[in-house]
Amino acid sequence: MVRTRLAISVVLVSTLLLLNVESKSVDPYKVLGVSRDAKQREIQKAFHKLSLKYHPDKNKNKGAQEKFAEINNAYEILSDEEKRKNYDLYGDEKGQPGFDSGFPGGNGGYSYSSNGGHGGGGFNFGGPGGWQNMGGGGGSKSFSFSFGGPSESSFGFGMDDIFSMFSGGSSKGKEQFGGFGSSSKAESKSKSSTVAPIRTINSQVYKKEIMDQGMTWLVLSYLPSQRGTQYHESIIEEVAESLQGALKVGRINCETESSLCKQLGIVPRRAPRLFVYSYTSSGKATLAEYTEELVAKKVKSFCQEHLPRFSKRIDLNTFDVSAVSSQRTPKVMLLSTKKDTPVIWRVLSGLYNGRFVFYNTEVHDTSDPKIQKLGVDAFPAIVGWLSNGEKQVLKTGITVKNLKSAVQELGKLLEGFEKKNKKVSSNSQSGQSPSESLERIPLLSRSNFDSICGENTPVCIIGAFRSSHGKEKLQSVMSKVSQKSLSRRQASTTGSQDTVSYSLLDATKQSAFLSSLDKSEFKTSDKLLIAYKPRRGKFATFKGDMTMEEVEKFVAAVLNGDIQFTKTRQKPQIK
């Protein structure tokens, strides 16, 4: 009887060993259906496709479960550069050449050792997927076998259990089947190597890098003992790759960071959970849970839906530039042909929320008068307003390589504009010269002429200059006068236009404009003031001393009707 039982045990163990050799000899490239020179992106796609097909939640039959474990083992090797290199060189991911491809361990992949105890001889078929003697004394030896990977299947039994399977006798040992998703050291090591881009989050990282930083995060909460964690992480990596620059990814081990998980309300239940850390339009941070099918495309869409929405969608027909200019925070507007706010602009509105007021609008025709007033000649374009109301075209005809580089490049553009605004603000509070500390008077151009001196403006005060000295003098004096209550530009509560506007004109470049007023083009004057009434087509000039007192008297006389106006020769135009 003893011999019979021994013979049966030898046959069974030998059979299982052969099965183990066969399973370990499977080519991971063939399992995933990729070539040996496949890139990580191809390997990821193949893994996701096969994982969905053979996932235990969809396929309850044993064959599918074994196939799923095989797929995870293959991905564990090929997704890790070091393991892949070792496999390619030695046929083993550990870099230990055996007697067969993919079979780990020395001595042909197995070893025997004696622990000196009663019945202490033991077998060890190396590797996380090998058979191992679980040691112990007495006549019962316990062996275990496991499929490596994120959905690892393991089972263990004693020698007495082997005979009970055949004879139906009672078992002294304990039979167990771990199922998919059990934890092991090998699995933990695999995860840490394949998800390096994913940030490990603790309380300190959460406070410094996530909370109120303006960036959207995709966060995984998990417990080490839960199944499917590696699959979740592979999805996260793929989404992060497609949304680089717009999204950051992280994971929280709720076993070691239990307080943080409880505080955030993200404690995982039966399986890992995915959350998107984002912001509402009011600026409040939220954690939105993703509960749909775990597919990269759907997770990506969910993340895009939760990108910041701090940019106000406006209609140029009703947009009030003067109201924008009355605010102190710098403003930026994106003009694009998109029906919805572009992803890039939404990302920037989150990163720079509070530092700028963001606007965006849909446009299509650069010949539109409203577009020309802004000075834009190509789309997409960004227009900005400093806190003093000065408009600047930051960039037109914007082209980008990808989302990440676009966010970086446009971010630098905004930061440069922010520096200009800080300089303007600091100058206005310091004791610098009037021309530097007061609101600068804009230079007339074709793009801004209608908004400054169009028919909706009753009176335009234009300072014409022929030298840099004349320009600086006019800029200084007109800046001071424009601040007086007598003639200061103010936004009316009734929506009516201002009574007077101020601007500069380069007489050396705009001779046609001056010729339309007077045939002499005022060539003898280095600098002069022109009061122009667009609606009536009349003008008046001042060529006296350009002091604040004299200029203020001239403007007051114009507004009071105490100045004789002359009809223009033709309608003035800017080239």
Q: Mapped to the 3 state alphabet, what secondary structure does 186-201 carry?
A: HHHHHHHHHCCCCEEC
86's enclosing H/E stretch is: helix 81-90
- Residue range 356-381: mean pLDDT, rounded: 92
Read off the pLDDT band of 329 (50, 70, 90).
Answer: confident
18's enclosing H/E stretch is: helix 2-24
- Residue 155 is predicted with a pLDDT of 33
DSSP state of 109: G
The amino acid at residue 552 is E
- Residue 568 is predicted with a pLDDT of 92
Specify whether the CB–CB gap between 287 and 276 falls below 8 A. yes
Please return the burial class of 164, using the count of CB atoms within 10 Å of its CB with bins 0-12, 13-18 and 19+.
middle
What are the tens digits of pLDDT across the range 211-237? 989 999 999 999 999 888 989 999 999
pLDDT at 575 over 90: no
Counting DSSP H helices and E strands in the chain, the numbers are: 20, 21
- Residue 547 is predicted with a pLDDT of 86
What are the tens digits of pLDDT across the range 544-556? 888 888 898 899 8
Specify whether the CB–CB gap between 457 and 450 falls below 8 A. no
What are the tens digits of pLDDT across the range 48-89? 888 888 877 777 777 777 888 888 888 888 888 888 877 777
pLDDT at 305 over 70: yes
Report the percentage of the chain scoring pLDDT > 90.
37
Q: Please state, in angstroms and as integers, the Cα–Cα distance from residue 367 to each residue in 53, 313, 363, 376, following that order.
A: 54, 21, 11, 9
Q: Directed axis angle between helix 2-24 and helix 159-167, to 10°?
A: 100
